[in-house]
Structure 1
Amino acid sequence: MIVRNLSDIRQSDRHVEGKGWVSDRLLLKDDGMGFSFHVTTMFAGEELHMHYQNHLEAVLVLQGTGTIEDLGTGLTHELKPGVMYALNAHDRHIVRPTEDILCACTFNPPVTGREVHDESGAYPALAD
């Protein structure tokens, strides 16, 4: 059994910051669960261009508001507490928080915790 406290994660190397977001990685690849689990905040006023070419991601919005634009279809969806989005086709997207968005995220395959977004907004396939 794995039991972790979010406040402890926030004081460790599993607390990762990027431009416009912070992420606390509660489960990573080396935990052996087959997915990773993160609590992430995306900051109001940012425009986060992302394209996870090597990972599938599901996100549940817990707090905050904004929009997500699917660059493949041109559709924009409202983000608010209770809304889940799943990037099931490696969808290129832009998240635009109007308030700080706190969310819970899962990645498959799991991330190692050492990935950084590349110029396309993706994580590399393997960062072992």
Structure 2
Amino acid sequence: MIVRSLEDLKEMGQDVEGGNWRSRRFLLKNDNMGYSLNDTIIRAGTETHIWYKNHLEAVYCIEGEGEVETIDDGKVYTIKAGTMYALNNHDNHYLRAKTDMRMVCVFSPPLTGRETHDEEGVYPLIEDDE
């Protein structure tokens, strides 16, 4: 069984600052669950370009308010506490936070914890377990 607290993640190096966001990574690839699980804070007033070409992501907003705009079709979706969205088509999008937003994020394939967004907003697919 795996049991972790937010406090544990700091000591484990799994509390990652990303400028517009902070990602607390509860489960990663080396936990062998087949997915990763993050508790992420998106900072108020920010816009983040994200395009997960190598991952699928489901996001559940538990606090705050913002929006997602899909770039290919220009659709804007309101996101607030109690809303889930799934990037089931590797959707190229902007995430905008009106207030601080707290999101629970699930990635498949799982993140290793070493990923950072590149200039296109993409996380690389890291295959090794280093």
Shorter-normalised TM range: over 0.9
| TM-score, L = length of structure 1 | 0.96
Whole-angstrom distance in 2 between the partners of 1:111 and 1:5 = 19
Whole-angstrom distance in 2 between the partners of 1:19 and 1:76 = 23
Percent of residue pairs identical: 48
In structure 2, the residue corresponding to 1:111 is in which secondary structure?
coil
| TM-score, L = length of structure 2 | 0.95
The CA deviation string for residues 23-61 of structure 1, in whole angstroms up to 9 with x for no partner, is 000000000000000000000111100000000000000
In structure 2, the residue corresponding to 1:39 is in which secondary structure?
strand
Whole-angstrom distance in 2 between the partners of 1:70 and 1:96 = 11
Contact 1:115 1:127 in 2 (8 A): no
Whole-angstrom distance in 2 between the partners of 1:73 and 1:26 = 33
Whole-angstrom distance in 1 between the partners of 2:109 and 2:45 = 30
- Any gaps of 5 or more consecutive residues in structure 2? none
Aligned-residue Cα RMSD (Å) equals 1.0
The CA deviation string for residues 51-88 of structure 1, in whole angstroms up to 9 with x for no partner, is 00000000000000011101112100101001000000
Aligned length: 128
The CA deviation string for residues 72-125 of structure 1, in whole angstroms up to 9 with x for no partner, is 121001010010000000000001100000010000000000011111101001
**Runs of 4+ with >6 A deviation:** none
Whole-angstrom distance in 1 between the partners of 2:42 and 2:84 = 15
- Any gaps of 5 or more consecutive residues in structure 1? none
Whole-angstrom distance in 2 between the partners of 1:12 and 1:34 = 20
